[in-house]
Structure 1
Amino acid sequence: MLMAHPAVLENLLDQYEALHADHGDTDDARRRMEDVIYTLCVSTGTRDIGPALAAARRRLAQDSAPSAARLPGRSGPCRPGAGVG
């Protein structure tokens, strides 16, 4: 499954939280909230906002954790045959 870039997810979470705090008092705010919810669901492969928020937050937490690609001695291109020859 394709996963949205962490910066996109972070932006969507920020928008959701700001709109949620605003309580959607206008038609425009409600439409924007619906758009953000839809985009979060599509971006995380979920159908409801609860699981979408959890998946986005989980993805951001995973992205901020050290990975083997970021460890010393593991830098450079990650493609078959890279550095060979």
Structure 2
Amino acid sequence: MLMAHPAVLRDLVEQYEALSALHAEDGSPESRQRLNDVAYTLCVSTGTRDVDAALIAARHRLPGARVEDDSLLDAPQEPHTTPVPATEA
């Protein structure tokens, strides 16, 4: 898969965040279309299917990104258990 240049990703993330902050989804047809276009371009540029995953992927590819910055890590996680092999009776 081709990777977008970090400068392009940074610009897309900034555009998406600005449009979201301005509530473009509730605005004029042109502002809604611009938000949809930026979201689509983010998805294509990161190889993802939804904008939330695209934003996470884009941020991970930016200079200075750290593994600890992933918001998915805040989700509750199942405790890790090792499967026990079944014994023959």
Question: One fold, TM greater than 0.5?
Answer: yes
State the AA in 2 paired with 1:32. R
Q: How does 1:5-84 map to 2 (within 5 A)?
A: 5-24=5-24, 25-60=27-62, 63-64=63-64
Shift >2 Å, 4+ stretches:
none
Cα distance in 1 between the residues matched to 2:64 and 2:4: 15
Cα distance in 2 between the residues matched to 1:23 and 1:2: 31
State the AA in 2 paired with 1:5. H
Identity %, equivalent residues:
63
Cα distance in 2 between the residues matched to 1:2 and 1:26: 33
Q: Highest Rg: 1 or 2?
A: 2
Cα distance in 1 between the residues matched to 2:54 and 2:3: 12
Q: Which sections of structure 1, spanning at least 5 residues, go unmatched?
A: 66-85
TM-score (norm 2): 0.67
Q: How many equivalent residue pairs?
A: 63
Cα distance in 1 between the residues matched to 2:64 and 2:3: 15
Q: Which sections of structure 2, spanning at least 5 residues, go unmatched?
A: 66-89
State the AA in 2 paired with 1:59. R
Residue 26 of structure 1 and its aligned partner are, at CA, apart by 1.1
